[in-house]
């Protein structure tokens, strides 16, 4: 008969230990839940920041590309005018300096876009 009946263990005389353990478990659960919610909010903020940066850098890059094309065209025109003898070489040097600054600006924006892409990937949970 004893082998067939299920064994039951009831902590009848544990006092308030079970209630205290339950309160600790609930407090730990709430603490972990709060940390998780904070991590999710932080991740969403990082993703949003990276996406806004991506859009902004894209707009800046398009404007910089237009400026670079204009600077290159001005450089070509100043060389043609110098070859025709209508301007001095200082004008050519100034146009080349402007074109070089525009190219440097394009490279800086490209670096910023790459860094932003890495930040976006990390915010989305990727490892780098």
For residue 28, the number of C-alpha atoms closer than 13 Å in the C-beta half-sphere is 6
pLDDT of amino acid 126: 77
- Split the chain (128 residues) into runs of 10 and give each run's mean pLDDT: 54 69 92 95 92 95 96 97 95 96 97 94 80
- Cα separation, 92 vs 107, whole angstroms: 23
Angstrom CA distances, 124 to 8, 13, 64, 114, stand at: 49, 51, 28, 15
pTM: 0.69
């Amino acid at each position: 008969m004893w082998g067939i009946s299920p064994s039951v263990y009831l902590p009848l005389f544990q006092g308030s230990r079970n209630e205290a353990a339950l309160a600790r478990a609930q407090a730990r659960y709430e603490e972990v839940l709060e940390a998780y919610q904070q991590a999710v909010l932080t991740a969403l903020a990082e993703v949003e920041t990276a996406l806004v940066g991506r859009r902004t850098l894209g707009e800046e890059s398009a404007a910089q590309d237009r400026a670079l094309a204009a600077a290159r065209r001005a450089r070509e025109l100043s060389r043609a005018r110098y070859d025709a003898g209508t301007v001095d070489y200082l004008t050519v040097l100034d146009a080349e300096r402007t074109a070089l600054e525009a190219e440097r600006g394009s490279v800086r924006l490209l670096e910023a876009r790459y860094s932003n892409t890495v930040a976006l990937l990390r915010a989305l949970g990727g490892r780098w």
